[in-house]
A and B are shown apart, each in its own frame.
Chain A
């Protein structure tokens, strides 16, 4: 009897611990009161609507979107050829290349941000936006290489060798044979990179200037000053956005096969 109850009770408690706080945030964002509280005082959409009127949120949202989309795109442009070289060629120093390319995943983001600030932004005068773009690209690169490598390794290499033997150029074989077959992997890498970059805080912490900062860093700053439910509202909106994206990816791509 006790054993029967063990599993459901454990799962219930763990789920309350893992998901409960998020549900509270969602509830708090529909509050009508002026301070963050649970249970929420009354019901209104005013905090959800307020999020869209705060100018700094709009600016930092655009910045985060730009970094997440642009940075991931750049990381894929660099990562796909690298992954292809590592899986299909006898690449000299391939272990070294792999280590360098995947190093950004091991080093804590705050250090990368600080290093870029100290050696690129301050002495050379690199713009903060560009530094952010480079940092986010480097951050996503390991994921891009890993996910694309995995789907290349699942694809038999003789089909492109066959295409080459039948007279296709190497490049033609890549674009007409390989690329269509790893499309799912590339899209999955894009989504993983997008979510990683968008939610990333430490890398962007030091890289902020007047009017230039990412949305999560902006939220951190805002919550230190103002104690109203707008951060809860914004958090819920963002959470539903990422959950929606990942769910759609799982539905249409079988996302979890790739990551």
Chain B
């Protein structure tokens, strides 16, 4: 450990000043716009924002989609992670690789694929008509369902990875022990696996929830102007309505959500280090 403070500052300050100037200052300026009206500080922009039904709908939809994507990712994630952890080592590594693989592909490409699958002439509609479930193509694109599917596919890998590391720390014998003592699978999960992997679930859950809340590409491509979420609404407010105050309000909501999630993650991380 070197003690020279001036040297330490000289090394660290360029990065801090850069991030402060390019990032912190403009973002704070932008956020402050939502709290100003006619030269004084006020919350009227927030009252205005939430008084409009469209904005309320978009806000609630964003929360709702974030929540159900997280819940679905948790259920599928536990099943997947459990299946992967019980594989032999070689197969396990390959399987983790396959789950992580989509994370390296551009989200634009990953979301675009759903147009081919869910579109009017897409695979799903072809199949529905072929087996006679529907006479004409049904509309799946530009619905909340499409956005849900897209978000789930985008963020599921993060949940699986978090749960894999949690499940790997699970003592080997607890599940067989609970089974031998007569617990059914539901009880095993609820009373043994869940309490022991709660941290992994929180980490994965926050990543999936904030990821879904702040997603732009998925709602833009699969939701369009019919299914706006906060980020696509922000984009629209700036480019179509030229309304920077409302954009600032949305920005603040998004940042508060991300920060809250980040603090929660840090808490979990420090709690883990203490043990």
Q: Which residues of A contact B (CB under 8 A)?
A: 6-8, 10-11, 14-15, 17-19, 21-22, 24-25, 28, 35-38, 78-79, 81-82, 84-86, 88-92, 94, 96-97, 100-101, 103-104, 106-108, 110-112, 114-116, 118-120, 134-135, 137-138, 141, 145, 157, 170, 195, 198-199, 201-202, 205-206, 216, 219-220, 223, 231-232, 235-236, 238-239, 242-243, 246
Contacts and interface: CB of A to CB of B under 8 A. Distances in A.
What 3 A-B pairs come out closest when comparing CB atoms?
Answer: A235-B109, A21-B113, A89-B8
Contacts, number: 236
A90 to B, nearest CB: 6
B76 A14 contact: yes
B14 A100 contact: no
B262 A106 contact: yes
A91 B12 contact: yes
Given A78-B18, A242-B105, A220 B217 contact: yes
A80 B260 CA distance: 28
B234 interface: yes
A108 B254 contact: yes
A17 B153 contact: yes
Contacts of B15: 78-79, 81-82, 97, 101, 141, 145
A38 B116 contact: yes
B19 A201 contact: no
Contact of B12 (A28, A82, A107, A195): A82
Given A89-B3, A90-B8, 13 more contacts: A11-B84, A21-B114, A25-B109, A37-B116, A91-B9, A96-B16, A104-B23, A111-B30, A115-B26, A116-B22, A199-B107, A220-B217, A238-B106
B78 to A, nearest CB: 10
Contacts of A110: 214, 216, 231, 234-235
Contact of B26 (A97, A116, A242): A116
B14 A82 contact: yes
B interface secondary structure, majority: helix
B117 A86 contact: no
Given A107-B255, A216-B108, A28 B116 contact: yes
Interface size classification for chain B? 35 or more
Interface of B: 1-5, 7-9, 11-12, 14-16, 18-20, 22-27, 29-30, 76, 79-80, 82-84, 86-87, 95, 98-99, 101-102, 104-110, 112-117, 119, 121-123, 153, 156-157, 160, 214, 216-217, 220-221, 231, 234-235, 238, 244, 247, 251, 254-255, 258-259, 262
Contact of B11 (A6, A10, A82, A116): A82
A111 B231 CA distance: 9
